[in-house]
Structure 1
Amino acid sequence: MAGVLDSVNQRTQLVGENRLELLLFRVNGSQLYGINVFKVREVLPCPRLTNIPKSKQVVRGIAPIRGGTISILDLSLATGNSPLDDIESCFTVITEYNGSTQGFLVRSVERIVNLNWNEVHPPPRGTGHEHYLTAVTKVDNKLVEIIDVEKILSEVAPINENISEGVITEDVAKTAADLKVLVVDDSKIARKQVQRCVEQIGVQVTALNDGLEAWNHLTQLQEQGISPLDEYIMMISDIEMPEMDGYTLTAEVRQHASFKAMHIVLHSSLSGVFNKAMVEKVGADDFLAKFHPDMLAEKVIERVHAVGATIPGLDE
């Protein structure tokens, strides 16, 4: 598995095709789990770990890898299960999320599979609110659970969600109160982070779970005689989502005659792999790596200024 990223250049051709590749692995038992290959840097046998005093139990230690030192998290513990034993025989999946690198300890690594996002579905109803899944799919008639890594990382190392003082001016807050943003993200944690950030500015938020839900929402507005361009000043969308990914959602919007001019910011934890050229391929207006409240706020404030200036009566 050391060469898991050898064909990354080929995999970039998946952009805009509503496809993904999952690395399949097992944690503690027979259940199969998956993680998007684009978030995986490499897979290694468990390295020698050094314990860190007073660290959280889920952090089994740190290890020197490729010239840097990274934390190794027990994925079984992180999802509320018993810790992995005999870790010397385990594997470490080195990942990059939100600009940070970490390793996840797993029992075994299986293979890579190529799927269409419409084969990937939200977690079944009835799983509650405390689960660690963003989606599920089937491979060879076996259920594969896709873990909400952003939820795990938010519990291990919570990030600051507050916008710095001075970013939001009084004029911006006044204009923002009449405006609305559409937020699309399959991770409950990430969705709430974006929503809280945008609402701090004063903008109203409609938050949806995936690209297909967002697409249906936009087309239904249009059918009701409501222009999505009048309803929302922008859409902030994740890239990785079940049913329909952010790239495909963007491409669909750009092909719709009535609301193809919608301002779209793709907001993703895939910062280490994707760049603006890939985002421009599907016609997004901008790309922003997760999660930097001030940077996200600035993108929204730019739209508040741009749209607010065209709305009469705001300064009366």
Structure 2
Amino acid sequence: MSNSNILVESGTNELEIAEFQIIKELPDGGTKVNSYGINVAKVREVIRYPEMTDYPKGNKHIVGVFKSRDKVTPLIHLAKWLGLSEKQPSSNQFVIVTDFNGVTNGFLIDSISRIHRVSWSDLEAASEISLAGEDNCIVASVNLDDRLVFILDFELIIAEMNSDINMSQYNLSTDNNVDLSPEKKRRRAQHTILIADDSKFILEQLSNVVSESGYLIETATDGEQALKSYESNKQNISVIVSDVEMPKVDGLYLCKTITSQPNHPPVLIFSSTMTKENKLKAFEVGATETLTKPEIHRLIPLLDELLFPNG
């Protein structure tokens, strides 16, 4: 399976989810099949278990590395990372190869069933699940053919594996491209930035950097919440920074709705799937600029450029 022919029109609030299965090992020796989902926009291909090479001193959840279209790719034991199974990989398993945040990764799964086209409004945000905690790895849930399917936070997973794309490694105070003088912070404090992202992990990182620079912030964990927040306080929102993949209302639909109004603020799309094609989609719905996670170092200079064009 490849995502090359699976396109969703800009701003329709729809997405395609690839449903896959991971088998949980039970204490009595039995098994249970769990269904999970991933946005097809993140998927490069799905392949049979490939020929593997051991990777010395790799993360305990990394099986090894393999070649995906001539690119050396780490394979993550997803069941082990989720705490569902410790079983050794076998040739009858499959691998979802992902391409986002500028890196390629493989995720070991047991089987893959089908692709579902759904509306973002069908997804329930993880924050609505009472068990959701600090280390929650689920961003949303959806009922597909009467099955509860969890959408995993793949950005959190790969950030734990690869410090180069973990935005928490970014230190604003040592960035020479950002003016952190008291005067600049005072000027920034006249502006409120609305940040929308369904990943608690990403939202926290963005919020910390934006507030540390001096800007005021409002946050939303899905597009519907972001839209309500904007509508109730639009006179005070200077810029909107939004993810694309969000329950209820996705970032492109959010952007399209806001930019269709007069005197709207700039909208920055900050996404892990910012391919050339997706950049075009973002501009089609009125985005001012796009950033690819984990380019968090570009965010404050871009906000300053938009809000203080004369320096």
- Deviation per CA, 1:20-79, whole angstroms, max 9, x where unpaired? 000110112422111011110000001111121211111110012211101010111222
- Deviation per CA, 1:160-199, whole angstroms, max 9, x where unpaired? 2223432222253231133221000000111112112212
Distance in 1 (alpha carbons) for counterparts of 2:105 and 2:276: 15
Contact 2:222 2:249 in 1 (8 A): yes
Bigger shift: residues 272-281 or 186-195: 272-281
Structure 2 equivalent of residue 187 of structure 1: 199
Secondary structure of the residue that 1:88 maps to in structure 2? coil
Secondary structure of the residue that 2:91 maps to in structure 1? helix
Distance in 2 (alpha carbons) for counterparts of 1:274 and 1:22: 19
1:57 aligns with 2:57: no
**Match of 1:166, as an amino acid?**
N
Alignment of 1:2-151 (within 5 A): 4-8=2-6, 11-13=7-9, 15-28=10-23, 29-123=32-126, 124-129=128-133, 130-151=135-156
Unaligned runs of 5+ in 1: 222-227, 310-316
Distance in 1 (alpha carbons) for counterparts of 2:283 and 2:243: 15
- Deviation per CA, 1:256-311, whole angstroms, max 9, x where unpaired? 34xx52110010000246443211111111111111222112212213414x98xx
Contact 1:39 1:273 in 2 (8 A): no
The TM-score with structure 2 as length reference comes to: 0.89
Distance in 1 (alpha carbons) for counterparts of 2:125 and 2:186: 37
Q: Stretches of 4+ moved more than 4 A in 1?
A: none
- Deviation per CA, 1:141-169, whole angstroms, max 9, x where unpaired? 11010001111122222322223432222
Contact 1:195 1:205 in 2 (8 A): yes
Identity %: 27
- Deviation per CA, 1:211-248, whole angstroms, max 9, x where unpaired? 10011112223xxxxxx1x4122000000100000011
Structure 2 equivalent of residue 240 of structure 1: 245
Name the CA shift for 1:161/1:283 in 2 (closer, same or farther; >3 Å).
same
1:205 aligns with 2:217: yes
Secondary structure of the residue that 2:304 maps to in structure 1? helix
Distance in 2 (alpha carbons) for counterparts of 1:140 and 1:218: 34
Contact 2:230 2:237 in 1 (8 A): no
1:172 aligns with 2:184: yes
**Match of 1:54, as an amino acid?**
K
Task: Give the deviation of 1:255 after TM superposition.
Answer: 2.7
Structure 1 equivalent of residue 27 of structure 2: none
Contact 1:186 1:241 in 2 (8 A): yes
The TM-score with structure 1 as length reference comes to: 0.88
Task: Give the deviation of 1:84 after TM superposition.
Answer: 4.1
Bigger shift: residues 125-134 or 95-104: 125-134
Distance in 2 (alpha carbons) for counterparts of 1:22 and 1:30: 18
Counting strand residues as a fraction of each chain, which structure ranks higher? 2
